[in-house]
Structure 1
Amino acid sequence: MQGLFSDPALERHFTGHSGGITQLRFGPDGNQIATSSTDSTVILWNLSQAARCIRFASHSAAVNGVAWSPKGNLVASAGHDRTVKIWEPKLRGVSGEFVAHSKAVRSVDFDSTGHLMLTASDDKSAKIWRVARRQFVSSFAQQNNWVRSAKFSPNGKLVATASDDKSVRIYDVDSGECVRTFTEERAAPRQLAWHPWGNMLAVALGCNRIKIFDVAGSQLLQLYVVHSAPVNDVAFHPSGHFLLSGSDDRTIRILDLLEGRPIYTLTGHTDAVNAVAFSRDGDKFATGGSDRQLLVWQSNLHTYDASQFEAKSALASSGCETSGVSSKQSVGSATSKSNDLSIRIDPRQSLAYQLSEENFQVLDVSIESGSDLCSCSARLDEISKLLALIDERVRRLEGIYTL
């Protein structure tokens, strides 16, 4: 396999939001990305060169989170206005609204079937909803502060929450009981990511740390200190072998979880990196920041080879330390030092970065929840005017024939 090892490379560079990007998700087919922003809008970016991008504007305040349904027919957005909007991209309008919480909604997620939706809020709760009926199902309210994030496990049987009370809680969906609690001392968790196998959980902390827990065993498996500022988001590669992270330090890190070390440091954002995500096949990943930029990258991780990485970094040592935490548990700890051996990539001189004003159109869609009624009303008005004109012409003709 020699000669096939390729580094991640910037593929596309989008600008279009007037506020910072708060969250992003790839569509199931990998051809679209949904982003939420402090500018109160959601944009669906089409990665096809000729395709049109769509901006949805129905929230009255910042949009904190976004999620695709598994089939890709729905997009949900979580707003600071206490609502969750359900969008149908093909209809280009709002198909549903949930007045979900009594305070700002921080995150939204679908289960693997797409029938259930999970929301997290500043009202200290996470809630499950039945999407088709817009029906409340259950609530998880053991947190003592804001719930920043809530995620379904891959099989939909568990829910993980991250709260400003410095806790990560695992709930059983059927019983509603809290089955695991992980507490933090340094800082509150900001974001969560389930491992594709559903047995581990990655936590982005409001200090500069990333932790990976064994959910069943209630153990800390790995600790990474690879950023110099709070970590805002984490995402597992579909293989489960790599982790992507974004931080207030403006960098993106890629971690090799099998070797327990950082392998890439990516720059390109000029402000905090708030959101990171892999496509379903892992061939691409995207990053979004407070600088309003959406960067889309070729991951090239399918070509990654640990031995070639060591040769490429020109050093044999990984720079990671493993320390015993207890007689029953050991944790790999990767530290960010001056001898950080990860490969650094800055795309700002690349052609893809410089061509920020690409030939794409952003179609604005500003339709409220009563969009169907508004549309019908507008059409009826047009029909009424047309009928009035026809009636007037008929009367004129009748007048001519009666003379």
Structure 2
Amino acid sequence: MQTKTKDPGLKKSLKGHKDAVMAIDFSPDSSQVVSGSLDATVLVWKLNAKQVPNKFVGHTGAVHSVAFNPTGTLIATGSSDHTVRLWENDMRGRSSVLKSHSGTVRACSFSFDGQYLLTGSDDKYLKIFTVHNKRHTSTINAHTNWIRAAEFSPDSRLIVSASEDKSVKLWDSEQLALISTFEDEASFLSARFHPDGTCLASGTLDGKTSVWDIRSQELLQLYDTAHTDAVNSVAFHNSGRYLLTASNDSTMKIFDLRKGSLLYSLYGHEGTVQVVNFSRDGTLFGSGGSDSNLILWDSNLVDPEQEQEAQRLKKSKKDIKGPGKKAKGAISAAEKLRRLQKKRKNENKQQDETKVEDKENSSIASNQESKYEAIAEDLAGMMDKVTVQLDIITRTIVTLSKRIGDNEELVNEAYNQYKIHKRNAEIKEQNPSLNNEDLSENESEQEPKEEFKETFDPAQSVMDLEETRNKCKNIMNIINISQYSLAAISKSANDVKETTTKLQKDFLPEGGETRAADPIREDSDEDLEREISP
């Protein structure tokens, strides 16, 4: 069965901005669309109403990015005034200002649960904020040139960023670590995740549209002749089969990714097309351009395979429903009673078997509990001994370290006094007329301290110095031995841990828990009736 579909068509043109429309996003229920413009305003349009849009004013510079949160209650916007604003999605449009960037904010993206907000800026940084308290929590030094696009993956485990430094980068959102880099000869202006999160699409300054595989990090598809100028924006249809692009060549393109071919070329804007985006249900897409217009389109895009499957399921339900009505009166009262009695008998049998098994499982669990208590008691005793030994060794090392410090101070003092004495002796030998007071004028060459003057013996001091250094070496050897002992005890502790894990596996039944008998499926009266063919 071949499904006949319509071509994408113009739905309506929304005029409200006074300058180029740079960003658009649809609400989760596809009932609203928000747009941001170079005129520094944010407009929220209700698609099924003729009333004027809600106008949010607060930015002092052009608005380059907009995004609904997953519940549609908040709207994030990024601006050339270096700020991010979180707007309440109502007529009042109250907002909170997030200040962390030092350049134009060109990207905003909420995590799938709405708890975090990702932003990308001309300052080359990615920032992550917590939404509930509006605090900046993380920063990624991501690129060496302006960041033009950034968003969370569908499950928020990854982040993609596209930059004019001619790279698209993939990041781990938890570790904030770089996973892979995709490069091109031209600057990247856009990048988006596929709905299933396995690949991403990008657009470049020289008009190329690429689809990259995240897992193999390979280029899957390249469309380098469809556009004749920069690709400013890319967006996936919710089916994952179609890719929509917007370009400076005043056109939009729709590609069939399964066939790897261009499907439609669309014209609607006078001048460059800055942004495109699909509604969440895929029935609509919007485009914004330098002509200050926001245009809504009926996508009329249907995945033929999904459509055929839906038709098949619909037909199957209809076929099942028809015979069911005819068969309903075909069961005699006696047959129905017999089946119900059989069902009750099976239920009673199942209950009896469950009681017996519960009793056996209770006995097994009791025995296992006793064994575990004994094992736990032994292990606790062993770990107490290990802890005591570790404490003793730690105290010993601290004491020895202190002694080394004391001895080194004595060694240094003796050595300094020896150098002073030797220096003064040389000076006296050269100038016999000098007395001790003359020698003491230079503080760095003072005579030995009072307690050293009468008993100071240079030869003996050298011997004492060497002896003290040997003692220090011996003490250091003792410390090293203690450290080896400490490492051995730590290894023993790890061995105890591994043994505990093995014992747990040995004592636990297969599957890690006591298993009950498989439950018997209980058929309702309606199921019994459905089993009879007409």
Q: Sort the TM-score into its range (normalised by shorter chain).
A: 0.7 to 0.9
Q: Distance in 2 between matches of 1:152 and 1:289?
A: 25
What residue identity is the alignment partner of 1:264? Y
Aligned to 1:238: 238
CA contact (8 A) 1:229 1:249 kept: yes
> For this pair of structures, how many residues does the alignment match?
304
Q: Distance in 1 between matches of 2:204 and 2:106?
A: 16
Q: Distance in 1 between matches of 2:147 and 2:49?
A: 38
Runs of 4+ in 1 over 6 A off after TM superposition: none
CA deviations 1:80-129 (Å, max 9, x no partner) are: 00000111122522331101301211111101011100000111101111
CA deviations 1:206-258 (Å, max 9, x no partner) are: 11100110011111100012101110000000000000000000001000000
Aligned to 1:275: 275
SS where residue 34 of structure 2 aligns? Answer: strand
**Do structure 1's residue 247 and structure 2's residue 223 form an aligned pair?**
no
Alignment of 1:290-369 (within 5 A): 290-302=290-302
Aligned to 1:386: none
Aligned to 2:220: 221
Shift of 1:304: 5.8
CA deviations 1:375-398 (Å, max 9, x no partner) are: xxxxxxxxxxxxxxxxxxxxxxxx
Quote the sequence identity (%).
39
Q: Distance in 1 between matches of 2:132 and 2:272?
A: 36
CA deviations 1:132-179 (Å, max 9, x no partner) are: 111112111131111111110000011111111111111101111101
Aligned to 1:101: 101
Higher strand share: 1
Shift of 1:53: 0.9
Q: Distance in 2 between matches of 1:233 and 1:247?
A: 7
Q: Which is higher, the Rg of structure 1 or of structure 2? A: 2
SS where residue 94 of structure 2 aligns? Answer: strand
CA contact (8 A) 2:54 2:91 kept: no
Shift of 1:57: 1.2
CA contact (8 A) 1:85 1:94 kept: no
SS where residue 249 of structure 1 aligns? Answer: coil
Higher helix share: 2
Shift of 1:14: 1.1
CA contact (8 A) 1:6 1:303 kept: no
Aligned to 1:173: 173
CA contact (8 A) 1:5 1:303 kept: no
Q: Distance in 1 between matches of 2:52 and 2:89?
A: 12
Q: Structure with the greater relative contact order (CA < 8 A, sep ≥ 6): 1 or 2?
A: 1
Q: Distance in 2 between matches of 1:156 and 1:15?
A: 34
CA RMSD of aligned residues (A): 1.3
State TM-score, norm by structure 1: 0.74
Q: Distance in 1 between matches of 2:7 and 2:93?
A: 39
CA contact (8 A) 1:269 1:293 kept: yes
**Do structure 1's residue 199 and structure 2's residue 198 form an aligned pair?**
yes
Aligned to 2:187: 188
SS where residue 302 of structure 2 aligns? Answer: helix
Aligned to 2:431: none
Q: Distance in 1 between matches of 2:204 and 2:125?
A: 20
CA contact (8 A) 1:6 1:304 kept: no
Alignment of 1:150-165 (within 5 A): 150-165=150-165
Shift of 1:288: 0.7
CA contact (8 A) 1:149 1:191 kept: yes
Aligned to 2:16: 16
CA distance 1:135–1:208, change in 2 (3 Å): same
